[in-house]
Chains A and B, each alone.
Chain A
Amino acid sequence: MHNLKPYYQEMLRCTRCGYCQAACPTFEVLRQEGATARGRVQLLRAVDEGIIPLTPAVGERLWRCLDCRSCTLHCPGGVRLDEIFALARRHLANTVAFPQPLRDLGERVYTRHNISGEPNETRLLWQENLGEAVGVQEAETAYWVGCVAGLYPMVYDIPQSFSRILQALGEPFVLLGGEEWCCGYPLLSAGLPADDLIAHNLAALEARGIRRLVTTCPSCYHAWKTAYPQGRVEVLHAVEFLAQAAREGRIPWREPAGDPLAVTYHDPCDLGRKEGVYDPPREVLRAIPGVDLREMAESRANAMCCGGGGNLESVDRDLAASIAALRLAQAQATGAQVLVTACQQCQRTLAMAARRGRVRLRVLDLSQLVWQRMAASEEGGT
């Protein structure tokens, strides 16, 4: 007897053609059926149909997913694989199938309000390291830093660069510090509820009279665009803000010295495939004097995830690292000197892969490159 789940009908539409094998980065590394969208769907269906019991092994295959949406885009049958997996994760979270690292993640975020588990008040340490105060007490715009950029020292340079850019362009902005809670996306991606976080964050913005939110984090951006009530606050990703500033000729660029800098751009899944923001970062890169933009063979909607997508890093760190190495190799093939992305998580994952593989390729967030190439950075630059 079928235990009809909300996603059951959609699962029936998978005809097992197997084309999703070409789309899944986890398959690229593991090369097993359990690492394909087809396999994941068949397994969930078998559980629903009572053919196999719900076990941790089922959960492992369901959550060993980057939530990168590549399979959904490439499915010739247009099966809403992303929705199937999201619903299934929601349905199966906190069951026997739910991986322990995600239980821990949930616990951490619910109690500490961020993914790292550090005290939430320490979200602005990156600013202290800057040696100068950035941001103002009151403004209509808030710079939404996000957990990774705010709490992982390896990527502090991203909020440092972006806030200096805002400052240099005369854009007043507020930093929320400990009042910024995790946007909820890691929980939603794991299948857990994030209602309290969402309610808190909305209230925090309202209390400060914030009308516009700019973020350097694609996952926060995607969460604010999809999981939050729309219309209350305008949400921009840093690349959109920078593209507009570049278009208006407001960014004072430094004179280029020496040979052109060859760069390639990695599309973050949450910004590209999920939000369709492909052109703004490229517009900015083309506007920077002395930058030669080269596209990877797989770019834009076809871009391979960096390995840091979804909660894969929590569930299977080695797999995430192997995927990052593959993406890095694609970037290397362009002959670029710098791999630019627009996501602190992609930057971290790819930079770690470069270090591990002894690859001589610098990995930068777009804000970092922009700041380095702005005239203002010569005076007070990092």
Chain B
Amino acid sequence: MNVEQVLESLREIVGPAHVLTSPEDLYLYEYDASLDRGRPHAVVLPGSAEEVEAVVRLAHEHGVPVTPRGAGTNLSGGSVPARGGLVLVLNRLNRILEVDIPNRTALVEPGVFNLTLQKALAPYGYLFAPDPASQKVSTLGGNVGENSGGPHCLKYGVTLNHVLGMEVVLPDGERVWVGGAAPDAPGYDLTGLLVGSEGTLGIVTKIFVRIMPQPEGVRTLLALFDSLTDAGRTVSAIIAAGIIPATLEMMDHTVIEAVERATHAGLPLDVAALLIIEVDGLEDELDEQVREIQAICQREGAREVRVARSQAERDHLWASRRGAFGALGQLMPSYLVLDGTVPRTRLPEALERVAEVGRRYGLPIGDVFHAGDGNLHPLILFDPTEPGILEKVRAAGAEILEICADLGGTITGEHGIGLEKISAMPLIFGPADLRAMWAVKRAFDPQDLMNPGKVLPPLEAVAEATP
């Protein structure tokens, strides 16, 4: 392959300003929000679906790996180029093409920030349900790639439940449409296959999403606990009572401290855990639900339950939750965020075992998570300048994922497998399961060029494993 010739062709496709090759720029596309790194050979920023198609076709012809990237907020290394090649940045495809209120749909490009869509829908009284904590900047293309969740997914489901169809550039450069407006599209459910495939099967260039009216009323509660176990038990008790809150979020003492230092939101520093509980729906039923939740919290040992009195108070509370990961920089320069799930009833046990891992490794671990889904985000805090620390952190992280698997849960709730959790895949899937996944990957991408080195353990390793 003549590298200079490929670069020249790329410049012709997207314009010279949108092909980056300087060492400085390449360094800037080495990372995302995870701990993984990998340097691309070039970064290309197409401005249209046609340009994406042409770039992918060119890369395919020359056998160049392509790693798609949105805002680079990925927490498992998904947007880090594992095998060099091109980083294909979708930030310039950032238009909301259509909002169709009567049919409750919107057509968007992949580089649109999640929150930008929310803001565009708000004047109509509508919203897009998936609301990852990073929604301020995480792109809808990234949300599709990771099948992102978010606090409100407890009640409304994850991204897959809100994507009706997509325009996708396949690894050979073919641009196709999957899914559609009909509730049950005929043929294979490729939308279902592609959502959450972490950019390994194709690149989304248009997304046709379902939008929903905003709930008539919302109540947000803050429950404070002196014990983490009590907080964990409360989560199960609320769900067991037949209430489905819109969100049920938990933060432990470590995270509360970091958030409070960063935002001065007025969170109490002497509690072991807090829950942010939100219920939404028809105004008439909300106050009754709030009373019921208050009673459950108190019965399970809450020290205090506060109800947000205004939209401003509510926004304040959510700002503290959404900024939680970034706020950890207040305590330690770096962290590894994990993303395991356990059955809700096993939460108290999971929290105890995670804490034990922290004690054993001598590493501080904070917990902030979508408790209602049993989706834990233990954050292992560390100073990256400490020699040998990264291996220690990764080992502790691996143990935590083992605990989740052992308790009947799984190794990712929403952050994806990416690079970081490939080695944990066999905790959940047997060789035959993984071979089936490889068969899908091969069908779409026989040359293994589309976001290679992600999600699946190498086929050789899978084949060798004993069933």
Interface residues of A (CB under 8 A from B): 2, 12-19, 21-22, 31-34, 39, 42-43, 46, 51-52, 55, 57-58, 61, 75-79, 297
> CB distance A78 to B262 under 8 Å?
yes
B25 within 8 A of A: yes
**CB pair B326 A15 closer than 8 Å:** yes
Closest to A46 in B: B27
A56 to chain B, nearest CB (A): 10
User: Contact: B25 with A16, CB < 8 Å?
Assistant: no
**Inter-subunit contact A15/B329 (CB<8 Å):** yes
Nearest-CB residue, chain B, relative to A27: B91
Whole-angstrom distance between the alpha carbons of A252 and B28 in the complex? 57
Give the interface segment out of B16-24, B224-232, B430-438.
Answer: B16-24
Residues of B within 8 A of A297 (CB): 119
B310: interface (CB < 8 Å): no
Contact bitstring B263-281, A, C-beta under 8 A = 1, else 0: 1000000000000000000
Which residue of chain A is the closest to B92 with respect to CB atoms? A31
* Distance of B334 from chain A, by nearest CB (Å): 7
With the chains together, A19 CA to B327 CA distance in Å? 11
- Among candidates A22, A32, A77, residue contacting B113 with C-beta atoms closer than 8 Å: A22
A-side contacts of B327, CB under 8 Å: 76-78
Do A18 and B33 touch across chains, with their CB atoms under 8 A apart?
Answer: yes
B156 interface hit (Cβ, 8 Å): no
Set of chain A residues within 8 Å of B334, measured between Cβ atoms: 12, 15
User: A22 and B330 in contact (CB under 8 A), knowing A17-B33, A76-B262?
Assistant: no
What chain A residues lie within 8 Å of B119 (beta carbons)? 297
Determine if B24 and A55 form an interchain contact, defined as CB atoms under 8 angstroms apart. yes
B400-434 interface code vs A (CB 8 A; 1 in, 0 out): 00000000000000000000000000000000000
> Least Cβ distance of A35 to chain B in Å?
10
> Are the CB atoms of B73 and A18 closer together than 8 Å?
yes
Please, how many angstroms separate the alpha-carbon atoms of A16 and B111 in the complex?
19
Question: Is the pair B22, A57 in contact by a Cβ cutoff of 8 Å?
Answer: yes
Q: Find chain B residues with CB under 8 A from A77 CB.
A: 262, 323, 326-330
Is residue B384 within 8 Å, beta carbon to beta carbon, of the partner chain? yes
CB distance from A117 to the nearest CB of B (A): 31
What are some 25 contacts across the A-B interface (CB < 8 A)? A12-B334, A13-B329, A15-B326, A15-B334, A17-B325, A19-B323, A31-B45, A31-B91, A31-B111, A32-B89, A33-B28, A34-B28, A42-B28, A42-B31, A43-B24, A43-B27, A43-B28, A46-B27, A52-B24, A57-B23, A77-B262, A77-B327, A78-B262, A78-B263, A297-B119
A18 and B384 contact, CB distance less than 8 A: no
Using A18-B134, A19-B326 as known contacts, list a sample of 9 further A-B pairs with CB atoms less than 8 Å apart, ordered by residue number in A.
A15-B326, A15-B333, A22-B137, A32-B20, A52-B23, A55-B24, A76-B323, A76-B325, A78-B262
* B330 CB, min distance to chain A CBs, angstroms: 6
Within B41-86, the residues touching A (CB, 8 Å) are 45, 71-73
Roughly how many angstroms separate A2 CA and B334 CA in the complex, as a whole number? 17
Q: Which 10 A-B pairs have the closest CB atoms?
A: A76-B323, A76-B326, A77-B329, A12-B333, A13-B329, A78-B262, A31-B91, A33-B28, A77-B326, A17-B326
Q: Mark B1-45, 1 if CB is under 8 A from A, else 0.
A: 000000000000000000010111101110111000000000001
Across-interface contacts of A52 in B (CB, < 8 A): 23-24, 27
- A34 contacts B134, C-beta separation under 8 Å: no
Q: Interface residues, chain B, CB within 8 Å of chain A?
A: 20, 22-25, 27-29, 31-33, 45, 71-73, 89, 91-92, 94, 111, 113, 115, 119, 134, 136-137, 261-263, 322-330, 333-335, 383-385
Q: Is the CB–CB distance between A57 and B330 below 8 Å?
A: no
Contact A19 B263 (CB under 8 A): no
- Cβ–Cβ < 8 Å partners of B326 in chain A: 15, 17, 19, 75-77
Check B134 against A17 for contact (C-beta < 8 Å): yes
How far is it, in angstroms, between the C-alpha of A43 and the C-alpha of B113 when the chains are bound? 24
Residue of A nearest to B258 (CB): A77
Determine the chain B residues whose CB is within 8 A of the CB of A15 once the complex forms: 33, 325-326, 328-329, 333-335
Q: A32 near B325 (CB under 8 angstroms)? A: no
Q: Are B25 and A22 in contact (CB under 8 A)?
A: no
How many A-B contacts at CB < 8 Å in the complex?
Answer: 109
A14–B335 Cα gap in the complex (Å)? Answer: 11
CA distance A79 to B258 in the complex (A): 12
Tell me the complex Cα distance, A79–B261, Å. Answer: 11
Q: How far is the CA of A222 from the CA of B428 in the complex (A)?
A: 58
Q: How far is it, in angstroms, between the C-alpha of A17 and the C-alpha of B72 when the chains are bound?
A: 8
Cβ contacts under 8 Å, A19 to chain B: 73, 134, 136-137, 323, 326
What is the minimal beta-carbon distance from B163 to any residue of chain A, in angstroms?
A: 23
B35: shortest Cβ distance to chain A, in Å?
9
Tell whether A51 pairs with B330 under 8 Å between CB atoms, given A22-B115, A31-B94, A33-B72: no
A78 lies within 8 A of B330 (CB): yes
In the complex, what distance in Å separates the CA atom of A12 from the CA atom of B262?
Answer: 15
Query: Interface centre among A2, A12, A51, A58, by most B CB within 10 Å?
Result: A12
Select one of A2, A14, A32 contacting B25, CB under 8 A: A32
Taken together as a complex, chains A and B put the C-alpha atoms of A46 and B22 apart, in Å, by 14
**Taking CB as reference atom, which chain B residue is nearest A75?**
B326
Cα distance A19–B319 in the bound complex, in angstroms: 12
Cβ–Cβ contact A51 & B27, under 8 A: yes
With both chains docked as a complex, state the minimum distance between the C-beta of B353 and any C-beta of chain A, in angstroms: 25
Cβ–Cβ < 8 Å partners of B20 in chain A: 32
Instruction: Enumerate chain A residues within 8 angstroms of B261, measured Cβ to Cβ.
Output: 78
Give the Cβ gap from B79 to chain A, nearest Cβ, in Å: 10
Q: In the complex, A225→B1 CA distance in Å? A: 60
Q: Which residues of B contact A22 (CB under 8 A)?
A: 113, 115, 136-137
Are A12 and B24 in touch, CB under 8 angstroms? no
Shortest CB-to-CB span from B67 to chain A, Å, is 14
Q: What residues of chain A lie closer than 8 Å to B28, measured between beta carbons?
A: 32-34, 39, 42-43
Which B residue's beta carbon lies closest to that of A39? B28
Q: Which chain B residues border A42 with CB–CB below 8 Å?
A: 27-28, 31
Give the residues in chain B near A46, CB-CB below 8 Å.
27
B27–A13 touching, CB < 8 Å: no
Residues of B contacting A51 in the complex (Cβ-Cβ under 8 angstroms): 27
Closest to B24 in A: A57
Asked, given contacts A31-B45, A43-B27, A46-B27, whether A13 binds B330 with beta carbons under 8 Å apart, the answer is yes
Distance between Cα atoms of A22 and B91 in the complex (Å):
12
Q: Is the CB of B333 within 8 A of A18?
A: no
**Cα(A57)–Cα(B324), bound, Å:** 33
Q: Which A residues are in CB contact (< 8 Å) with B384?
A: 12
**B24 with A33: CB separation less than 8 A:** no
Question: How far, in angstroms, from A40 to B384 measured CA to CA in the complex?
Answer: 19
What chain A residues lie within 8 Å of B45 (beta carbons)? 31-32
Q: Which residue of A lies closest to B87 (CB)?
A: A33
